Amino acid sequence: MLTIQEMNGALQPQGEAEGRVAVGADPVLMEQRLGRLIREARYRYPKVTVSPRQVSVHDAAESVTRGETQLAVVAFEDGTGVFPGDLVAEKLPPLTLAPVASPALAATPVTDRARPLRVLTVSADCTCHLPLVAALRSRYGVDVSVIEAGSVGGVRELARAGYGLAMLPAPDDSLAAQGLQVVPGMPHAELDVRLVYSRPDHLGRAARSIAELIRRMPQPATAAGGPGGAALGDMLVS
C-alpha cells in the first residue's frame, strides 16, 4: 500500500505533497527526534502522514530495501553501521550521550560500586550503551553486566531507581526533574547518525519532503520531553 501511495505521489508532481511515509528509527532517536518530526510534518505537510516504525541499526537497511520503511534514522558508534551500496546513508548531526544514574549511584566511586556494575540499555541491538561499557572496562577495569530494559522509558526508570548506569541524550536540563544526574568522571559519547533511504529517484514526493525536514531539523537542545523537545507519545496523542 505504501508503495502505491508513493507512486501516485510521483505521478502528480504539481500541488501539495500527500501520502503516508513510514520512517524507521532506533529507540533513542524514536523518542528524541521523531516526535519533533511528526509535529513539524503536520504543520508543513498536513496531507502527509508520518508513520513511525522502530528499527535497529542492524535491520534499518533491510527495512528500507523491503519497502517496510521509506526512510530510516539510526545512530551507532563509528564503524558499526554498514549499509549496502544501493542505499544512501546520509550523515546527520551526531547524537551526544551522557552517562547518567540516580544521585546516590552517581556519587558513589567506581571502586565502591556493586560488582559487576550494571549498564542499562534498551536491547542488545541498541548501540547506545557500548561507549559506556568500553570506558568502564578500559579505564577502570571493572566487570560490566548489561541489562536490557525494553524501552528508553524502562532504561530511565531503572536508572532512577539506582539499578545501574545508562547513556541518555545530552545535554538535558530535565535530568534533575527525572531523578537523574550525570555521572562525574565518565566520558560522554558522540554517535554517528545517518538518514538511510533508496536512491532519491526511487522516493515519492511525500518521502522526499519528509527527508528534507529531517535534514533541516536541528538537534534538540534537550532530550525528548524536556524544554527543547517533544516526546513521541505527546505527538501521537495530541
* Structural domains of the chain, ranges and CATH numbers in brackets: 2-95+191-237 (3.40.190.10), 96-190 (3.40.190.10)
Per cent of the chain over pLDDT 70 is 79
> What is the three-state SS of 24-45?
EECHHHHHHCHHHHHHHHHHHC
β-bridge pairing 88-101 and 117-121: unpaired
Distances (CA, A) of 95 to 91, 102, 197, 210: 11, 22, 19, 20
Tens digit of pLDDT for each residue in 127-148?
888 888 988 888 888 888 999 9
Look up the pTM and report it.
0.78
Distance CA 68, CA 173 (A): 36
Residue 36 has pLDDT above 60, yes or no: yes
Peptide bond connecting 171 to the previous residue in cis, omega within 30 degrees of 0 = yes
Tens digit of pLDDT for each residue in 183-204?
988 888 888 999 999 887 778 9
Tens digit of pLDDT for each residue in 43-89?
999 999 999 999 988 889 999 999 999 999 998 876 556 788 889 99
Contact of 189 with 152, CB cutoff 8 Å: no
The pLDDT of residue 76 is: 84
Hey, what's the cell of 129? 550503551
Give the chain's radius of gyration (CA, Å): 19
